Amino acid sequence: MTANDYFQSIPLEQQVQPKELRFHLYMFQHWREGPQQNQGVITDIKRPRYFGHGAVNDWIIRDSPNLQANIVARGQGLHLGAGRDEENWFTCFNIVFTNARLMGSSLQVLGNFAGKSGQLAIVGGTGELAFAHGVATATVIQEGDGDSIRELQIRAMCLAFLKPVPICHQDWTMGWEWRKRI
């Protein structure tokens, strides 16, 4: 392999089937200081509508809106006050699954929270959810003094590789050399 061969694009060698993902989850946000707090301020700029305010989050995601429900994931990332004229939160976070069924898998989420409801883009995934893309709606269903619960409805697609193909550098480069001769 020469220095110019650092990248090669080859035809897909196995069958791929798209699969639809549907999740109905509940995200618990606690910003008040205390044992339940799961987000913290990074920047506290005193502007109207929290413009310029930044926070890091590790939100708890459960399978029902009950505080005793199973924790299935964490919402780990950032949110920033991005609306100068009206309150609007830009957010980017990973839904990192912690339950046995999807352990090691995640969804990457990007979008805005404006008002009580918002739509977020699913822009990627890992593990069993690799290559995911889709949309999530996040709707506040309960709000208290220092906390809220958002209902998450996620609909996405990802690719399932049907027949595993062992990958070995030697086999890959030998196969590539063979294809170049054809």
Cα–Cα dist 107/175, whole Å? 33
- CATH code of residue 19: 2.40.480.10
Query: What span, in angstroms and rounded, lies between the C-alpha atoms of 3 and 31?
Result: 51
In a domain, 98, yes or no: yes
- Specify if 127 maps to a domain: yes
Residue with tokens 């505080």: 67
Residue span of the structural domain in which 46 resides = 14-181
User: Does residue 6 belong to any structural domain of this protein?
Assistant: no
pLDDT at 171: 52
Average pLDDT on 46-62 reads: 83
Domain count, the chain: 1
Q: What are 1-47's pLDDT values in tens digits? A: 566 778 888 887 778 889 999 999 999 988 888 888 888 888 777 77
pTM here is 0.79
17/45 Cα distance (integer angstroms):
48
Looking at the predicted structure, is the pLDDT value of residue 172 above 70?
Answer: no
Residue 111 forms part of a structural domain:
yes
Instruction: Please tell me the predicted confidence (pLDDT) of residue 122.
Output: 98
pLDDT in tens, 107-151: 999 998 888 888 999 999 999 999 999 999 999 999 998 899 999
Q: What is the pLDDT of residue 164?
A: 62
- Please check whether residue 104 is in contact with residue 93, taking contact to mean a CB–CB distance below 8 angstroms: no
